[in-house]
C-alpha cells in the first residue's frame, strides 16, 4: 500500500486513451474507500471505473472491441481472473492490473502469484516505511494502534486508518515469532 500502484494504473489508462485506444477500467465492488465508481489514488487522482463483484461479471461487461483492459485491486478477484487475463492477452488485448502481491501477513495475496508468473512485464513499486523512512514492501495493519494478529481476517478494506507501509525491519505482526537476521 501507498507505493503509487493506483497512480501508475491511472497514468497507464490515460496514456492508452491519449493513443486513441479503447480502454475499460474495472475494480472490485468491495473497494468503496474513496468512490464507488472510480479508481482513486491515496493522493486523490481519479479515473472512472466499473465496479464488479467477480470475474464472471467483469467478463460479461467487457466490450469485445476493448484494446486495453485495466483492473484495480486484482488480488480481490477469484481464480478465473488469471484465465481471463491470459485469454485476452493472447488475443492481443493489453491487460494492465494493479494489486498487492502480499497480504498483511506477508503471504502471497489472492491470484497475484499466478498473474506475476504469467505477466509479460512486472513493475513492483515500493512505498516509504512510515516508521523509519526506508523503502517498504510490506503492508502493516493496525488495530487500535497496535499490530494486527496473524489470525485476523485477510480482507479489511481501508486506508491510512488501518494500514501503513513498513520495511522488513519495522514490520510487526502479533502471533508470529520475530525472525532473527542471518549471520
Give the cell for residue 65.
472491441
Residue bearing cell 488485448? 93
What is the DSSP track for 119-176?
-S------EE-TTT-SEE-EEEEEETTEEPBTTS-S----STTTEEEE-TTT---BTS
Catalytic residue among 36, 48, 59, 73: 73
The end-to-end CA distance of the chain, in Å, is 30
Closest listed residue to residue 6, CA positions, set 18, 28, 19: 28
Active site residue 48: no
| Catalytic site positions | 73
Amino acid at each position: 500500500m501507498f507505493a503509487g500502484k493506483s497512480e501508475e494504473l491511472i497514468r497507464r489508462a490515460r496514456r492508452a486513451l491519449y493513443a486513441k485506444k479503447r480502454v475499460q477500467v474495472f475494480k472490485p465492488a468491495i473497494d468503496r474507500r474513496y468512490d464507488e465508481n472510480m479508481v482513486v489514488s491515496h493522493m486523490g487522482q481519479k479515473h472512472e471505473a466499473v465496479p464488479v463483484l467477480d470475474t464472471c461479471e467483469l467478463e460479461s461487461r467487457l466490450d469485445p472491441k476493448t484494446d486495453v483492459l485495466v483492473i484495480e485491486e486484482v488480488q480481490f478477484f477469484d481464480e478465473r481472473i488469471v484465465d481471463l487475463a491470459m485469454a485476452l492477452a493472447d488475443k492481443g488485448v493489453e491487460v494492465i492490473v494493479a494489486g498487492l502481491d502480499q497480504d498483511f501477513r506477508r503471504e502471497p495475496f489472492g491470484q497475484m502469484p499466478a498473474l506475476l508468473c504469467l505477466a509479460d512485464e512486472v513493475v513492483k513499486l515500493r512505498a516509504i516505511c512510515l516508521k523509519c523512512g526506508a523503502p517498504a514492501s510490506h503492508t502493516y495493519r493496525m488495530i487500535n494502534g497496535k499490530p494486527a494478529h496473524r489470525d485476523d481476517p485477510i480482507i479489511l478494506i481501508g486506508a491510512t486508518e488501518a494500514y501503513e507501509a513498513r520495511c522488513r525491519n519495522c514490520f510487526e505482526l502479533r502471533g508470529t515469532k520475530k525472525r532473527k537476521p542471518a549471520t
